[in-house]
Structure 1
């Protein structure tokens, strides 16, 4: 079950529907979407049913879940949903696209999503419910903590840390060992050469503060 029937949820559902094991058998049977918008309940999105809001999860105790909401405008939504559900970690699926190149020494947490053509070098960590979007490069020893989002085509230099609930916009380059603070937002196309304070929005090249993160 994919929580959130928006663009990211649709992408995750499509990825799951096409993932197969070494014998060519489907890995996942996608039951449908869970979404809090009552206008979607009973409808179909990309051929999959919208089963209802969060209470419907209790009707499927054996189902694995992925929380898809990761848009910068909904900062913190994944954590709120996970805490509201209060389920153990094993109920969440870990989704890694088969074209992603993930070194065996890396760890990817429950509920995390690693999308097509991501490259993660040795020692990397993708935390629980974190999202790494297509064509991002994680150099050695990079840590993307729980609930963080790294958008598409980002470069994270060696030893970079993206703290919990932070958002790194598409096309950003982050210098080695820089830390993006908790709930910080880095705008797309930015050049990060040093630490980014938590709970603030920074963007540009050179990087500059735009205000507090909401």
Structure 2
């Protein structure tokens, strides 16, 4: 049976999520709050306002809003869609390697080449960009965004609504507090407190 989808918003993460659709998936269109985006198709797909969520009640929703300027608002933005958890879907690229001994929540997007090792627990509303490796027993809390080519060592805990910049590495058994931002290419060797903004090798506060 064909699974129908709506992607929110019409941005970079949603565009890249197209590569995760399989033969049994069909994108109906994008949902976006910006009126200027609704005026023309995106990659051949229509862009609607939030009314599409009611027009197509059968469609699964992938809500992948995320940017470095607004990542601390992800939870608020996603919750504003006001849809039940059962409507959210999860998309996993066919080249991703996901251990059967891991847990993946709803509204998660795992891109090409992602590796999820045994014991990993991904909460809900998680985005993992291409070629990132999450080693054993990593815990990722809700609304966290993980960039491409990251390596997260065993036992790491990423708090709620964390932004982990592409190319970053985190030493084993470290804890990154909620709402923390790790800059591009950082090497994290210490725990990071809630709301921290860090970067560098080793990562330090900015």
TM-score category, normalised to shorter length: over 0.9
Answer whether contact 1:69 1:77 (CA < 8 A) is retained. no
Answer whether contact 2:162 2:180 (CA < 8 A) is retained. yes
Aligned residue number for residue 120 of structure 2: 124
Q: In 2, Cα distance between the equivalents of 1:106 and 1:57? A: 31
Residue 80, structure 1, aligned to residue 76, structure 2: yes
Aligned match for 2:153, one of 132, 157, 165 = 157
Runs (5+) with no aligned partner, structure 1: 20-25
Deviations 1:60-109, CA, capped at 9 Å, x for gaps: 21111011212211213431233212222110011111100010011111
Counterparts of 1:51-130 in structure 2, within 5 Å, are 51-52=48-49, 54-130=50-126
Bigger Cα displacement from structure 2, 82-91 vs 119-128: 82-91
Aligned residue number for residue 7 of structure 2: 2
Q: In 2, Cα distance between the equivalents of 1:77 and 1:35? A: 16
Aligned length: 201
Aligned residue for 1:65, secondary structure, equals strand
Aligned residue number for residue 133 of structure 1: 129
Residue 28, structure 1, aligned to residue 25, structure 2: yes
Aligned residue for 1:8, secondary structure, equals helix
State the shift of 1:42 in Å. Answer: 3.7
Residue 37, structure 1, aligned to residue 62, structure 2: no
TM-score by structure 2 length?
0.93
Deviations 1:86-134, CA, capped at 9 Å, x for gaps: 2221100111111000100111111011111011110001110111111
Deviations 1:136-158, CA, capped at 9 Å, x for gaps: 01110011111001100000000
Aligned residue for 1:32, secondary structure, equals strand
Answer whether contact 1:5 1:34 (CA < 8 A) is retained. yes
Query: How large is the RMSD of aligned CA atoms in angstroms?
Result: 1.2
Aligned residue number for residue 23 of structure 1: none
Runs (4 or more) in structure 1 with deviation over 4 Å come to: none
Residue 186, structure 1, aligned to residue 182, structure 2: yes
TM-score by structure 1 length?
0.90
